């Protein structure tokens, strides 16, 4: 390709400006984008007691959500069984994303039809930070219960000859066993320890049951029945034949259901790409749909990928976003053991006492579009214009941020966005109310001047693993649209003295006007050291 032609291609790419044409939110105290915008006007925290362990010392961001409000929209477009199918098969993680997507179509009437008509020129990039924890946890518990019942049945002496021999003559039986059995549970005094010892005892003896081996052999014969002749006409016949044979087998042995039959298929329907694929189905979007996963930087990474696809000419519109399950004991416990979670029952505000963050759940969805294309169709852009996303990896520590990684992302975002540090009017921090806040502010001041107004919002709605960065960016864009920086829960007297010594231009609990006609930045730093820095400008003509 000649230099002239290459330069023309680059110019054409740069001319493809990107805008936001729809957005939806599910967040604490905020079932939709309108409630989210109203709540931002107050400096109050949206956190509430968790009590997921019974009484406990944690505050969390519990999303306010009712999927029923989307029933009418879904029933207008799909067969009657679709809504109950979604509620019975989909984890809250996916339902939040569907709800936020449906909201996102409301800002510009006709957007839904355009996304469907674009064919492969409309994409869906929606990630998740923690995936479908409620579904996976419940499935694991049900499997554990079924496995214990199964082991208990086959470990009874009448069905396990090696156990009978061991009980009759332990010393002789030990010479024939491949390993020594666990302690006899009847000799364990503590009641809780004895219950666990029983499970270990049964798990040891059940696999040694010859009767179980015979049961499995008979089951294999049933499962070996295969389709013959016409596939379409025979497959249902084979399914029914197997079901009858398995039922007879269970009745003959009197065994409990095998544990592998007690695992819900919802484990398959709620893998990480499910929110993206369900949005593609809800919107009849036939272009690429997949799940970028970058922990707390997920939304910024999705935004970059969406902008790149539009600027390369691969897509005219991209649905992007992130979604997280509601706060769950597994998540809260893991964050606590990771020593990054506040546990004193009070709101832990970033930039103050560094007591830790708060787990939150919910979703945020944006619809990006090529501005010239979308605005020729009469659609109006929202908030600000995303100019660039700088990305980097720390390549250092799994959770403690570095100075070099975020600095690289910031410089890259500014350079690609054509924005100088002096043009930045406000900046939103990742700030998790941990000691990393000090380093983040220090890193920021290495790049930006001292008059930049800084916000930190995890004291408002907590820390959504993937959605949090999207909530923060949406708050920034909503504020820019009305010429304001929304208040945060932080009072000026609470600012950490060491941080105040580095930078003192923060947005406190009163809010303030947005710096007029100046660019804004937003940094996210994800577990694993993944950084995303979003640079945005006030809206101008495409």
If asked whether residues 433 and 328 sit together in one domain, one would say yes
Tell whether 542 is covered by a domain. no
Instruction: Name the residue range of residue 213's domain.
Output: 136-262
Tell whether 352 is covered by a domain. yes
pLDDT digits (tens, 9 = 90+) for 79-89: 999 999 999 99
Give pairs for 505-511: CB < 8 Å, separation 24+.
Answer: 505/450, 505/451, 505/452, 505/453, 505/454, 506/351, 506/453, 506/454, 506/455, 506/456, 507/426, 507/453, 507/454, 507/455, 508/43, 509/43, 510/43, 511/41, 511/43, 511/484, 511/485, 511/486, 511/487
Tell whether 5 is covered by a domain. no
**Cross-strand bridge partners of residue 222:** none
Q: What is the 3-state secondary structure (H, E, C) of 123-138?
A: EEEEEECCCCHHHHHH
If asked whether residues 475 and 463 sit together in one domain, one would say yes
If asked whether residues 209 and 336 sit together in one domain, one would say no
Walk along the chain (542 residues) and give the pLDDT tens digit of each residue. Answer: 444 444 444 444 557 999 999 999 999 999 999 999 999 999 999 999 999 999 999 999 999 999 999 999 999 999 999 999 999 999 999 999 999 999 999 999 999 999 999 999 999 999 999 889 999 999 999 999 999 999 999 999 999 999 999 999 999 999 999 899 999 998 888 888 899 999 999 999 999 999 999 999 999 999 998 877 676 767 788 888 899 999 999 999 999 999 999 999 999 999 999 999 999 999 999 999 999 999 999 999 999 999 999 999 999 999 999 999 999 999 999 999 999 999 999 999 999 999 999 999 999 999 999 999 999 999 999 999 999 999 999 999 998 899 999 999 999 999 999 999 999 999 999 999 999 999 999 999 999 999 999 999 999 999 999 999 999 999 999 999 999 999 999 999 999 999 999 998 999 999 999 998 899 999 999 999 999 999 999 998 66
pLDDT digits (tens, 9 = 90+) for 354-399: 999 999 999 999 999 999 999 999 999 999 999 999 999 999 999 8
Tell whether 114 is covered by a domain. yes
If asked whether residues 302 and 439 sit together in one domain, one would say yes
If asked whether residues 114 and 147 sit together in one domain, one would say no
If asked whether residues 476 and 355 sit together in one domain, one would say yes
If asked whether residues 163 and 308 sit together in one domain, one would say no
Q: What is the 3-state secondary structure (H, E, C) of 421-468?
A: HHHEEEEECCCCCCCHHHHHHHHHHHHCCCCCEEECCHHHHCEECCCH
Task: Kindly report the CATH number assigned to the domain that includes residue 324.
Answer: 3.40.47.10
If asked whether residues 384 and 295 sit together in one domain, one would say yes
Q: Where are the alpha helices (DSSP H) in 270-315?
A: 274-282, 298-311
Tell whether 21 is covered by a domain. yes
If asked whether residues 349 and 387 sit together in one domain, one would say yes
Tell whether 1 is covered by a domain. no
Domain boundary among 211, 242, 262: 262
Tell whether 4 is covered by a domain. no
If asked whether residues 36 and 97 sit together in one domain, one would say yes
- Say if CB 447 and CB 415 are below 8 A apart: no
Tell whether 229 is covered by a domain. yes
Domain boundary among 231, 262, 293: 262
If asked whether residues 254 and 211 sit together in one domain, one would say yes
Name the domain count of the chain.
Answer: 2
If asked whether residues 39 and 77 sit together in one domain, one would say yes
Domain boundary among 262, 279, 294: 262
- Helix, strand, coil tally for the chain in percent (to 5): 50, 15, 35
């Amino acid at each position: 390709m000649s230099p002239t032609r290459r330069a023309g291609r680059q110019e054409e790419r740069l001319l493809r400006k990107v805008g936001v044409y729809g957005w939806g939110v599910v967040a604490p105290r905020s079932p939709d984008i309108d409630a989210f915008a109203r709540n931002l006007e107050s400096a109050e925290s949206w956190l509430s007691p968790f009590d997921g362990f019974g009484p406990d010392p944690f505050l969390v961001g519990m999303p306010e959500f009712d999927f029923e409000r989307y029933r009418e929209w879904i029933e207008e477009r799909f067969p009657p069984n679709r809504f109950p199918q979604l509620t019975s098969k989909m984890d809250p993680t996916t339902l939040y994303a569907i709800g936020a997507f449906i909201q996102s179509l409301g800002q510009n009437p006709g957007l839904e039809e355009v996304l469907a008509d674009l064919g492969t020129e409309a994409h869906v990039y929606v990630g998740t930070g923690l995936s479908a924890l409620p579904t996976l946890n419940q499935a694991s518990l049900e499997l554990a219960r079924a496995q214990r019942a199964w082991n208990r049945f086959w470990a009874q002496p009448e069905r396990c000859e090696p156990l009978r021999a061991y009980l009759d003559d332990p010393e002789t039986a030990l010479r024939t066993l491949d390993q020594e059995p666990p302690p006899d549970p009847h000799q364990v005094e503590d009641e809780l320890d004895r219950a666990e010892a029983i499970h270990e005892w049964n798990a040891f003896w059940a696999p040694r049951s010859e009767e179980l081996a015979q049961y499995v052999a008979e089951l294999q014969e049933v499962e070996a029945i295969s389709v013959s002749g016409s596939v379409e006409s025979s497959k249902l016949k084979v399914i029914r034949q197997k079901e009858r044979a398995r039922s007879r087998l269970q009745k003959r042995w009197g065994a409990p259901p095998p544990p592998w039959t007690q695992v819900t298929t919802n484990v398959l329907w709620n893998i990480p790409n499910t929110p993206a694929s369900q949005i593609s189905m809800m919107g009849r979007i036939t272009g690429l749909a997949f799940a970028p996963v970058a922990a707390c930087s997920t939304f910024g990474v999705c935004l970059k990928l969406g902008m790149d696809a539009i600027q390369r000419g691969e897509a005219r519109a991209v649905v992007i976003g992130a979604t997280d399950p509601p706060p769950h004991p597994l998540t809260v416990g893991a964050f606590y053991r990771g020593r990054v979670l506040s546990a004193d029952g009070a709101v832990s505000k970033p930039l103050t006492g560094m007591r830790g963050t708060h787990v939150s759940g919910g979703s945020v969805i944006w619809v990006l579009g090529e501005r010239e294309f979308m605005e020729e169709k009469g659609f109006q852009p929202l908030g600000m214009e995303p100019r660039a996303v700088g990305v980097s990896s720390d390549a250092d520590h799994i959770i403690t941020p570095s100075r070099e990684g975020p600095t690289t992302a910031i410089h890259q975002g500014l350079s690609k966005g054509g924005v100088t540090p002096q043009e930045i009017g406000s900046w939103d921090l990742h700030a998790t109310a941990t000691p990393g806040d000090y380093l983040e502010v220090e890193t920021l001041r290495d790049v930006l001047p001292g008059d930049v107004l800084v916000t930190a919002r995890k004291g408002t709605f907590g820390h959504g693993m993937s959605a949090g960065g999207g909530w923060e960016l949406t708050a920034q864009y909503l504020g820019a649209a009305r010429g304001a920086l929304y208040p945060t829960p932080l009072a000026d007297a609470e600012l950490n003295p060491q941080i105040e010594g580095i930078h003192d231009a923060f947005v406190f609990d009163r809010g303030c006007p947005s710096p007029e006609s100046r660019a804004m930045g937003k940094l996210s730093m994800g577990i694993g050291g993944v950084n995303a820095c979003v640079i945005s400008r006030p809206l101008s003509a495409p």
